[in-house]
Amino acid sequence: MSTQDQTMTAPAPAPAKVAKISFVEGLHMALDEAMGADENVIALGEDVGDAQGGGVFKITKGLSTKYGVNRVRATPISEQAIIGAAVGAALVGMRPVAEIMLMNFVTVAMDQIVNHAAKLRFMSGGQTHVPLVIRTTTGVGVGFGGQHSDMLEAWFAHVPGLKVVMASNPADAYGLLHSAIEDDDPVILIENILCYGIQGPAPTPGYRVPLGKAAITREGTDVSIISYGKAVLDALAVAERLAAEGVSVEVVDLRTIAPFDEATVLASVGKTGRAVIVHEAVKAYGTGAEMSSRIHEELFGQLHAPVQRVGGTYSPVPFSPALEKAWIHSQDQITAAVRRTLDWKKPR
């Protein structure tokens, strides 16, 4: 996170010498603190109770014992029921945190999410709001196959009324979940399963990441890489690799995908004159296309090269490890995209 951002938002994350936490611990801490501070915060989803194991990924472990099964409710395998109940609870003043175990299965509950949670504020003239958080996980690289690995953030980013967020480190996972729970409108928090084990500095209790605010995670002058979630780690690795060659790469971590922090993105690209957008979702029709279009609309005369996009292959995610590895973007592909922007020559 940039120094500027930490100053604007809240207590800064603890220095590196303080105990580190994992991504899972960051999410657990935020949920535990939110439930402790407000009895209206509840959690529901498949297997989230301690009797069921405290969640497949252990993010809710211990919470049903601490707060009771009425506030941490293990549900049947019915995504429609989970989101429907969560929307109803939000409408009567609660702040539900609903867990959809794998993102592909949000498709089962699209009516409740898109036609109810996202629209009730608008359709009630602002009289009704839905303070709902939907936590869900996904990710490519663990062999979960095509029905368990999709990044579907573009679907939700396209729907007015929904906020879509994704963290790249434990402190941001903690701060984003806190901010999502405190928001009065529905927020979808996407968690990459491959980030769960990541260790990072423990945040100061009460640390918040404001929704809609990106972070400059590495400053540079030659090209901007704009990304979110696990792909930020690849962007930082590429930036480090290219620094050895004298290329200065700025990395922008969006943290909120919708609405994305257009001011920070445009300021970064306005400075470097070049942009590469990287995300794990398929490249075609993705959020990168939207951001690329906005950059071209606002900065066309200042760009030194066309905006490049790096994303997944336009096909279902393969189950085969070899094909799965070929499906997802690589650091070499990001590096090549950066080189294209640096080497691009204007046609005569």
| Residue type for position 308 | Q
Give the separation between CA 146 and CA 129, rounded to whole angstroms: 34
Sequence-distant (≥ 6) Cβ neighbours of residue 263 within 8 angstroms = none
Catalytic annotation on 279?
no
Q: Per the residue annotation, which of 148, 178, 279, 329 is the catalytic one? A: 148
Contact call for residues 257 and 164 (beta carbons, < 8 A): yes
Give strand ranges (E) for 133-181. 133-138, 163-166
| Residue type for position 155 | W
Q: Distance between terminal CA atoms of the chain? A: 41
Give the separation between CA 59 and CA 117, rounded to whole angstroms: 24
Give the separation between CA 229 and CA 151, rounded to whole angstroms: 11
- Which pairing describes strands 72-74 and 223-227: parallel, antiparallel, or unpaired? unpaired
Give the separation between CA 70 and CA 68, rounded to whole angstroms: 5
Contact call for residues 186 and 314 (beta carbons, < 8 A): no
Give the separation between CA 105 and CA 98, rounded to whole angstroms: 13
To the nearest 5 percent, what fractions of the chain are helix, strand and coil?
40, 20, 40
Give the separation between CA 140 and CA 281, rounded to whole angstroms: 9
Q: Per the residue annotation, which of 79, 153, 250, 324 is the catalytic one? A: 79
Catalytic annotation on 79?
yes
- Which pairing describes strands 187-192 and 133-138: parallel, antiparallel, or unpaired? parallel
- Residues with a catalytic annotation lie at 79, 148
